[in-house]
Chain A
Amino acid sequence: DGGITQSPKYLFRKEGQNVTLSCEQNLNHDAMYWYRQDPGQGLRLIYYSQIVNDFQKGDIAEGYSVSREKKESFPLTVTSAQKNPTAFYLCASSLGETGLAGELFFGEGSRLTVL
Chain B
Amino acid sequence: RKEVEQDPGPFNVPEGATVAFNCTYSNSASQSFFWYRQDCRKEPKLLMSVYSSGNEDGRFTAQLNRASQYISLLIRDSKLSDSATYLCVVNGATSGTYKYIFGTGTRLKVLA
* Chain A positions near chain B (C-beta within 8 angstroms): 31, 33, 35, 40-45, 48, 50, 56, 88, 90, 94, 96, 98-109, 111
Contact = CB atoms under 8 A, between A and B. Distances in A.
Nearest to A48: B98
Interface in B35-61: 41-46, 49
Interface stretch (B14-22, B62-70, B88-96): B88-96
A33 B100 CA distance: 10
Interface of B: 4, 8, 31-32, 34, 41-46, 49, 87, 89, 91, 93-100, 102-105
Nearest to A94: B98
A48 B96 CA distance: 12
Contacts, number: 60
B6 to A, nearest CB: 9
Given A90-B43, A108-B43, A42 B4 contact: yes
B99 A103 contact: no
A104 B102 CA distance: 11
